Structure 1
Amino acid sequence: MIVWPIAAFSTAGVLARPFRIGEAWWAVLGALLLLVTGQLTLGEVGHAVGQGTDVYLFLVGMMLIAEMARTTGLFDWIAAWAVRHAKGSASRLFYLVYGVGIVVTTFMSNDATAVVLTPAVLAAAKAAKLERPLPHLFACALIANAASFILPVSNPANLVVFAGQMPSLGAWFRLFLAPSGIAVAVTFAALYWSQRDDLRQHMQSDVPVPPLSVEARIVAFGIVVMGVALLAASALGADLGWPTCVAGAATFALVLLRARALATRAAREMSWAVLPLVAGLFVLVAALSKIGVAAELARLLKHLQATAPQWSVWAAGIATALVSNIANNLPAGLMAGATVAASHAPAKVAAATLIGIDLGPNLSVTGSLATVLWLTALRREGVEVSFIQFLKVGLVAMPVALLLCLGALALV
């Protein structure tokens, strides 16, 4: 069966980036191979790509507003403010970054933390002349996943996993309040402990705060409006893509009217390659679904629930966490959503699946789309984080947090 080798080849390319070829090329190549070998028809490929429309809109709006924040100097202003409040302490700056990351992830999604907070932290590290800024950058990546099930809006994957059967906000808190608190606290403790030596370094604090331009104020207002729109859409059970894209486009239009050069630069420098990457992953999932992978997983989950229900929460959470690191949590979330729906899994099993999809990617650098976006932001500034570097941190931070979260869920 040729689907499996193609999926493995494409996934390996996304994870390893051989010859320094970007992740998007490998995902698209896999999709094209599935098409030319007859595993999927052109109509099926088009349908699979179309399934990602909400994700594309979400990413375009988020990346657009992040680029404008960078080009208008908003990130520089935030960076200077953070450095001054850190008062020369790398640890205090770490606390600020982690705390802001919780807020941004909770109300604007983990992808927003990757594309909005990471550049600001990079700017802060440069302003403070931090010799070793990786602890603060790791904080951006890990809190983006650890806090991504505090609210339904905290991760677009949450909507995919529950596949139109999103619990009410009250039911959501009953399932996820304790696990999300554990995830945030344990991840903080593990990350701080693993980076404790670098967090003792000294940094500059006497950094002048640049004036905030009118364009930067417009972008800041746009970010607030986007956050409100996302919360409203989540409360109404609506898609998140359109509100995000409209808020980003409206902010872009206002900046364009005042400073055409800044706006066009932001649009030109966006990481457009993320979109074909996501499209390719949707096609790979469609091919795996076509050969019955989701149906077989649903059968196995039903059998486990019938024979050993006490282990179903643990099995669902651990399995999806591991798969997310092998295949990225976006396709894993799509497959998990189909599996949960087909098996009519209990609420706790569905919740465990979501925790694995959201928190599991803290193990590897390509585990989630948010971390891929984080990597992209770092590479643009000449900062490289290898698979092994991230894995060393992930091995400390993720397994304990995951097991404690699943234990808390099992007790609900």
Structure 2
Amino acid sequence: MIVVVAVLVALVLAAAIARPHGLPEVAVAAPAAVVVLAIGALSPAEALDQLRALGPTVAFLAAILVLAHLADACGVFRWTAALLRAGATGSPTRLLALVFAACAVTTAVLSLDATVVLLTPAVLATAVSMGVSARPASYASAHLANSASTLMPVSNLTNLLAFSATGLGFAHFTALMALPWVVAIGLEFAVARLFFARELRGTATTPPPPAGTRPVPAPRWALAVLALTLAGFALSGLLGVAPVWCAVAGAALLAVPALREGRTRPRRLLAAADPFFLLFVLALGVVVAPLTGGAVGDWLAGLLPTGESFGALLLMAVVAAAAANLVNNLPATLLLIAALGPAAPTGLLLAMLIGVNLGPNLTYTGSLATMLWRRVVARAGQPAEIGTFTRLGLVTVPLTLVGAVAALWLVTR
């Protein structure tokens, strides 16, 4: 029975990657979940418990996706692109530094999906408009969508899944992950400067906008709402309020003027929540559940460390990174959280997140965000190259794993 479930997991992930005939990920995941129930690998009561456990996380994800869409509708990313071009002053290296900053902040605050879907096209368009190579900025957006997603619970679905298991408040989680986040981004930038050195030489070939051109106005209301939402996340633990309600409140504050001014429509808000993907997450949780409590879960639990020494944290991160590249970081997170158990040390859970978030920079299949990035850059006329992605990942992933884990060890000692 476990073999059947493992095959079903593989089929679900293969379908999510290939998306045959353009079908949504849930088109295969939902029938697979039904099969898991039909063969008795999971009882209906156990499946319901799994859905209840994932429900708050999925609701939070929906609210963040809508919030990111509304930020885009209110001009946040158009304004960001204008700042990138103005701040770069014709220098490809300066543009890359600004892209790193923009991707890091966007990923941390609005999630890696916002970086991939909303910011990446703006970044590519900025590079093209300047007449410089878009490759450094393109691969930076892919890497930062993963590497910069360790900071806050809202930054990545993997973080949301593990957040409750850590027992930490929003602010405490963020404080512990701040140094690993900075170290990972710093190492990524240092490697990118060397890796794309040839393309970063020279200056832009397209002249800047003529003097007197009106700058893109700052979307002050949207920026203020995002700042208030972020503050709400930080204070939610102290106030005893679930973070999802802060995201919902932020989305509501942006939705009212956006709908009134015709910047978006109710149908677009529903599409932004990506209900098919949310159903996919729930279905995948049901499909993976039998593995977490069976022989696979027991075997995996035997591999994992139990302490919080530097070696234990690094081993945890390496196992998590390998699992993410083998089965994708979403099911890897579900499996590893179950294998660590309810009494897992906080340090190990955070090291696991470092592994499943940074590890996917090694392969296309490591995270759903990377697969989505490939489609986004192809539509923008800047298709990804597997050789470039792999070579860059072979350098950055080991460095960032060791650096981020060392930083985590320092702050959790």
| Native 8 Å contact 1:153 1:234 kept in 2 | no
Aligned counterparts of 2:224 and 2:375: Cα–Cα separation in 1: 25
Write the deviation string for residues 204-237 of structure 1: whole angstroms up to 9, x where unpaired. Answer: 3524555549xx5443333333322223336667
Structure 2 alignment gaps of length 5 or more: none
Q: 1:372 Cα shift?
A: 4.8
Name the structure 2 match of 1:326: 326
Name the structure 1 match of 2:233: 230
Name the structure 2 match of 1:256: 259
| Native 8 Å contact 1:70 1:119 kept in 2 | no
Q: 1:323 Cα shift?
A: 0.7
Matched, 1:80 2:68: no
Q: How does 1:99-138 map to 2 (within 5 A)?
A: 99-130=101-132, 132-138=133-139
Residues 59, 204 of structure 1: alpha-carbon distance in 2 compared, 3 angstrom cutoff: farther
Q: TM-score scaled to structure 2, two decimals? A: 0.81
Aligned counterparts of 1:380 and 1:248: Cα–Cα separation in 2: 28
Over the aligned positions, Cα root-mean-square deviation in angstroms equals 3.6
Residues 19, 168 of structure 1: alpha-carbon distance in 2 compared, 3 angstrom cutoff: closer
Range moving further from structure 2, 98-107 or 84-93: 98-107
Tell me which amino acid in the other structure corresponds to 1:27. A
Tell me which amino acid in the other structure corresponds to 1:277. F
Name the structure 1 match of 2:243: 240
Q: How does 1:34-45 map to 2 (within 5 A)?
A: 34-45=36-47
Residues 176, 241 of structure 1: alpha-carbon distance in 2 compared, 3 angstrom cutoff: closer
| Native 8 Å contact 2:170 2:233 kept in 1 | no
Name the structure 1 match of 2:353: 354
Aligned counterparts of 2:174 and 2:66: Cα–Cα separation in 1: 31
Tell me which amino acid in the other structure corresponds to 1:100. A
Write the deviation string for residues 25-79 of structure 1: whole angstroms up to 9, x where unpaired. Answer: 4434433442444433455444434433333333333332333344444422321
Q: 1:387 Cα shift?
A: 5.3
Residues 28, 204 of structure 1: alpha-carbon distance in 2 compared, 3 angstrom cutoff: farther
Matched, 1:278 2:281: yes
Aligned counterparts of 1:127 and 1:156: Cα–Cα separation in 2: 33
Aligned counterparts of 2:280 and 2:266: Cα–Cα separation in 1: 23
Aligned counterparts of 1:405 and 1:9: Cα–Cα separation in 2: 33
| Native 8 Å contact 2:33 2:283 kept in 1 | yes
Q: How does 1:5-404 map to 2 (within 5 A)?
A: 5-17=7-19, 22-130=24-132, 132-152=133-153, 154-161=155-162, 163-167=164-168, 176=177, 178-200=179-201, 202-204=204-206, 206-207=208-209, 208=213, 211-212=216-217, 216-233=219-236, 239-259=242-262, 262-264=264-266, 266-267=268-269, 270=272, 272=274, 273-301=276-304, 305=306, 311-342=311-342, 344-372=343-371, 374-375=373-374, 377-378=376-377, 381=380, 384-385=383-384, 389-404=388-403
Residues 248, 362 of structure 1: alpha-carbon distance in 2 compared, 3 angstrom cutoff: same
Aligned counterparts of 1:53 and 1:170: Cα–Cα separation in 2: 22
Aligned counterparts of 2:350 and 2:35: Cα–Cα separation in 1: 35
Aligned counterparts of 2:240 and 2:114: Cα–Cα separation in 1: 20
User: Percent of aligned positions with the same letter in both sequences?
Assistant: 31
Range moving further from structure 2, 402-411 or 333-342: 402-411
Write the deviation string for residues 82-125 of structure 1: whole angstroms up to 9, x where unpaired. Answer: 11221111221110011122333444444443445334324423
Aligned counterparts of 1:45 and 1:148: Cα–Cα separation in 2: 29
Q: 1:7 Cα shift?
A: 1.1
Tell me which amino acid in the other structure corresponds to 2:255. F
| Native 8 Å contact 1:27 1:277 kept in 2 | yes
Residues 374, 223 of structure 1: alpha-carbon distance in 2 compared, 3 angstrom cutoff: farther
Q: 1:402 Cα shift?
A: 0.9
Residues 27, 238 of structure 1: alpha-carbon distance in 2 compared, 3 angstrom cutoff: farther
Tell me which amino acid in the other structure corresponds to 1:334. L
Residues 6, 153 of structure 1: alpha-carbon distance in 2 compared, 3 angstrom cutoff: closer
| Native 8 Å contact 2:317 2:355 kept in 1 | yes
Secondary structure of 1:200's counterpart equals coil
Write the deviation string for residues 306-330 of structure 1: whole angstroms up to 9, x where unpaired. Answer: 9x97753332111111111222222
Name the structure 2 match of 1:405: 404
Q: TM-score scaled to structure 1, two decimals? A: 0.81
| Native 8 Å contact 1:317 1:355 kept in 2 | yes
Aligned counterparts of 2:296 and 2:312: Cα–Cα separation in 1: 19
Aligned counterparts of 1:408 and 1:42: Cα–Cα separation in 2: 43
Range moving further from structure 2, 190-199 or 287-296: 287-296
Aligned counterparts of 2:97 and 2:86: Cα–Cα separation in 1: 14
